[in-house]
Amino acid sequence: MNTISQSDYQQFYQFLNNITPVSEDLFANIRPLLKKKCYRKGDAILREGDIEINSKFVLKGVVHQYIFEEDEPLTINLTPGGLVFNCIKSYIEGTPSVEIQEAITDVELLFIEKFALEELAQKNQEFSYLLFKIYESILADRENRTLMLQYRNPSKRYQLFYETVKRAQWIVGDTPDKYIASYLNMTPQQYSKEKRLAAKKLS
């Protein structure tokens, strides 16, 4: 495993505090549970058929979460630096994942193994509340994306992506356009067109 720097700890601590205030005592209990791993662009973080046993936080880079639909990749999510992710169905049920997680840039992750996270949650009420707030934030983000995808009009989806999907501001920074297009259920050509039209409105 890779060494966790003070900057890494601080980045994760800031993320938690953006969700809800976290005491230094609680973070002192979380720190020993954290592990770090680095991936090169194109590396698999979770393969189809693996069982998800970690909750992960992206320090740097972008993770593409997808499945195959009729031999075509279908984007489930994009997780850039500063956000958490896992394959929640596999994580909860202990079943093989149908989701693939791939580093689409060089990626650095912090992660906590499920057994360690659950052990702390059972003993520490403040940590249990923190987990609740994190999952609440994730659910709100996913609901906004679900609502966005109901619109058949690509222009409306593009607009709502920037207005309602909280992770949009992070996604656009380092993510190649073709992945954002897939996230918005657009062809790369449609996304390029909407991007040009939005730029014209701002000019």
What is the per-residue pLDDT across 96-126, written as a single tens digit (0 to 9) for each? 999 999 999 999 999 999 999 999 999 999 9
Comparison of pLDDT for 177 and 63, the residue scoring more: 63
Give the Cα separation of 40 and 99 in Å (integer). 19
In a domain, 120, yes or no: yes
**Torsion angle in degrees (nearest 10) through CA of 64, 188, 70, 68:** 0
Q: How confident is the model at residue 33 (pLDDT cuts 50, 70, 90)?
A: very high
In a domain, 85, yes or no: yes
- Give pLDDT, residue 46: 97
In a domain, 1, yes or no: no
In a domain, 12, yes or no: yes
Hey, which residues does 67 pair with through a beta bridge?
A: 74
Q: Which residue range(s) make up the domain with 95?
A: 6-202
pTM above 0.75, yes or no: yes
| Span 16-31, average pLDDT | 96
Comparison of pLDDT for 158 and 38, the residue scoring more: 38
CATH at residue 20: 2.60.120.10
**Per-residue tokens: 99:** 């989701």
Query: How many domains, the chain?
Result: 1
In a domain, 65, yes or no: yes
In a domain, 37, yes or no: yes
In a domain, 158, yes or no: yes
**55 contacts 84 by C-beta, under 8 angstroms:** yes
Give the Cα separation of 63 and 53 in Å (integer). 17
